[in-house]
């Protein structure tokens, strides 16, 4: 429901940021169907992952690069947590670096989620994914612990360390009880050599489309509709 609703916000001529994840997959399917029917024309998007790019090519969604298309009119992406004010945790799908680059190049960002992703404060249910370079990656773990996190190197189902599309690693940092000051944490992570990016998306989203048993509602910066 949220994916279909987001697809209806796309108009002809738009330049789009195309997120990653299971909820975004429904948006892409709906967008591809609208393009095939001729409901919207002259649209193009920047995919935030190899997986999204492959899906777009299958669905007939034209693609381009940030160099070609920025500034983008709209980015549609999912989120792992949505806090009051629309601060987000993202990156459990592993695409956080490219997702943040695309979000920052957009005039507007909509996140599509189900109502289990709404939280009172960030870190209550989801860890903060932190993308790090492979060199001496384990040296970060003690430092993350000093920040109050329980850090775990992300691995796949076979126990192999997960690699992002950028060939980096991800450390999932869980903060028991939530994060006291997300902006301070984001700043400290950004200053740490070897940290590429974090899954804290602060001040980037303009609207959330939230699906639940009662249907779809929209949350904006000024409240709920």
| Separation between Cα atoms, residue 193 and residue 172, nearest integer Å | 17
**For residue 139, which phi and psi values (nearest 5 degrees)?**
-65, -20
Catalytic residue among 81, 99, 186, 207: 99
Rg from Cα positions in the chain: 17
Within 8 A by CB and 6+ apart from 83, the residues are 119, 120, 121, 122, 182
| Separation between Cα atoms, residue 46 and residue 37, nearest integer Å | 21
Helix, strand or coil, per DSSP, at residue 97? helix
Task: Mark whether 99 is an active-site residue.
Answer: yes
Give the containing element (helix H, strand E) for 223.
Answer: strand 223-224
As annotated, the active-site residues are: 99
């Amino acid at each position: 429901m949220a994916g279909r609703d987001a697809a209806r916000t796309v108009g002809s001529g738009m330049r789009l940021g195309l997120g990653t994840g299971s909820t975004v997959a429904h948006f892409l399917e709906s967008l591809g169907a609208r393009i095939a029917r001729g409901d919207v024309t002259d649209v193009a998007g920047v995919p935030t992952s190899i997986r999204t790019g492959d899906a777009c090519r299958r669905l007939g969604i034209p693609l381009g690069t940030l160099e070609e298309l920025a500034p983008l009119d709209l980015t549609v992406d999912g989120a792992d947590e949505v806090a009051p004010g629309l601060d987000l945790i993202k990156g459990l799908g592993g695409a956080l670096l490219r997702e943040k680059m695309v979000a920052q190049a957009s005039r507007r960002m909509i996140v599509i989620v189900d109502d289990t992703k709404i939280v009172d404060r960030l870190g209550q249910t989801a860890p903060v994914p932190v993308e790090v370079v492979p060199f001496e990656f384990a040296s970060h773990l003690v430092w993350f612990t000093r920040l109050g996190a329980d850090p775990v190197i992300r691995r796949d189902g076979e126990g192999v360390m997960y690699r992002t599309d950028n060939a980096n690693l991800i450390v999932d940092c869980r903060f028991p009880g939530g994060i006291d000051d997300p902006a301070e944490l984001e700043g400290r992570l950004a200053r740490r050599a070897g940290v590429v990016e974090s899954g804290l998306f602060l001040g980037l989203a303009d609207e959330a489309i939230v699906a639940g048993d009662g249907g779809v509602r929209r949350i904006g910066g000024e409240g709920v509709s």
